[in-house]
Amino acid sequence: MSRLTYLESKIVSIEDAKRLTALWHLKGEKVVFTNGCFDILHKGHVTYLAKAAELGNRMIVAINTDKSVQQQGKGDDRPINSEEARATVLAGLGFVDLVVFFEEQTPQKVIEIVVPDVLVKGADYDPNEKDPHSKKYIVGSDVVLKNGGEVIAIQLVEGYSTTAILNKLRK
């Protein structure tokens, strides 16, 4: 298999992610899940994803589709990179096993289907927050905790954000 084919094989449907997660669970592997836009991949993203991947044996990254990003109100020019481009860059990271897309505003449905062992978000979220209406609530934490999993917040690298990069480019 060529390296490009291998990279492309990491970008899968939610159904394939469910099947592979079930297989990994049968092998006793711990599946880590995180999500985001990952529009312009930077040191903050890579550091966060590497730390998340260390929490298990397999790593799934769910990314917002272009339509989903546009509905978040991040700006008329977002996303900068298409969903296919963002997925390809993420799949190129050695510690990312699968990349899936979600069309909705949150990855709740994906989490309900995949049921990871560890759900990870940045430290701007709170694993102890139980109010789904709170900005600090980690979507899908109810599903993961109900199934005996863990919900973890990872400290973000200060000074790195897609918004900061775009603001710098605009100056």
Q: What are the domain boundaries of the chain?
A: 3-170
Q: Domain 3-170 is classified in which CATH homologous superfamily?
A: HUPs (3.40.50.620)
Q: What pLDDT, on a 0 to 100 scale, did the predictor assign at position 123?
A: 93
Structure tokens at 150: 């863990």
In percent, the amount of the chain with pLDDT more than 70 equals: 100
Structure tokens at 54: 């260390």
Q: How far apart are CA 4 and CA 12, in angstroms?
A: 14
Q: Which is nearest to 120 in space by CA: 93, 141, 91, 90?
A: 141
pLDDT band at 132 (very low <50, low <70, confident <90, very high): very high
Structure tokens at 97: 């096993």
| Whether the predicted pLDDT of 164 surpasses 90 | no
